[in-house]
Amino acid sequence: MKDLEGKTAFITGGASGIGLAIARACAGAGMQVVIADLRQDHLDDAVAELTADGIKVHPIRLDVSDRKAMAVAADEAERVFGKVQLLCNNAGINIIRPITEATFEDFDWLFNVNLGGVVNGMMTFVPRMLAYGQGGHIVNTSSVAGILTGPGTAIYSATKFAIRGLSEAARYDLIPHGIGVSVLCPGTVSTRLYESEDNRQPQYLGQVTDTVKAQRAGTGELFRRVLPLGMDARKVGEMTLQAVRNNAFYIMTHVEVETDIRESYEEMLAALPDTTPNPEVLKLEAGRRQKKYDILKLAKDL
């Protein structure tokens, strides 16, 4: 989507971190910007910060896991600015917890916010984009944890792998309609992700024992130590906007993960059986690939 001037962007998790950085980049490109966030205090801070820099945005308080609220927010965005042609499903939370210590509430919380937020955003805005008939672009925030895993990342990685898979498949569905899709896979970025536990809704608290309190406090402390060392979120915002302009699918922020990615895929390739391929199955797979290639040829015009 090369021509951004005057178009409207709707950004979830838009009041801080990567979302706020994307909002800045979009505004700098002449777009009308809606920032949606769970935290009213973060929205107030973001509006004040952007206003001081001469940037006007429209804030909406939104729980992305609430489907009805997402539809209401979409209606408000259209009422204020008109058609939304850039959707950034960026809102997300994180915990570091081994599967041996995880609770059902941990799973429900991360899946409903991280994955559910993306699903709700796409299911709300894609029909509207199709109805506009003017194309558009969607950016879904996954993570390097949606490509790689490690100790304590089971729940978070499960949500981020799902976002990456959803985005890749949806790309082929949407390109013929003039809608591009990008998946943002950031590494460590200086954000307020350490405040995730502060945003845990009551229904996801579960039984709060002393052990659980210690686990949750430990996650926050880890993020407080590590995240300030990360990449400046504004750089990620600019990278994201460039990917939208170029209709690039992957937005990778950190070259430092190259070895891990190679090792992961080499392990998969090494696990393929040493057998003679079935010619009929090869034919089916070739047809599937060709269908993808044909769709991707259309992407160069977006």
Taking the CA of residue 277 as centre, how many other CA atoms within 13 Å lie in the half-sphere pointing to its CB? 9
Contact 12, 90 (CB under 8 A): yes
Determine which one of 132, 156, 204, 265 is catalytic: 156
Contact 199, 38 (CB under 8 A): yes
Q: Which long-range contacts (C-beta less than 8 Å, at least 24 apart) are formed by 284-290? A: none
The phi and psi torsions of 250 (rounded to 5 degrees) equal: -85, 135
Contact 177, 135 (CB under 8 A): yes
Residue type, 300: K
* Active-site residue, 156 included: yes
Q: What DSSP element (H or E) covers 137?
A: strand 136-141
CB proximity list for 86: less than 8 A, separation 6 or greater: 1, 4, 7, 8, 9, 10, 26, 31, 136, 137, 138, 139, 244
Contact 264, 147 (CB under 8 A): yes
**CA-CA distances (angstroms) from residue 164 to 96, 103, 125, 160, 220?**
20, 24, 18, 6, 25
Q: Burial-class residue 21 by CB neighbours within 10 Å (0-12, 13-18, 19+).
A: buried
Query: Known catalytic residues?
Result: 156
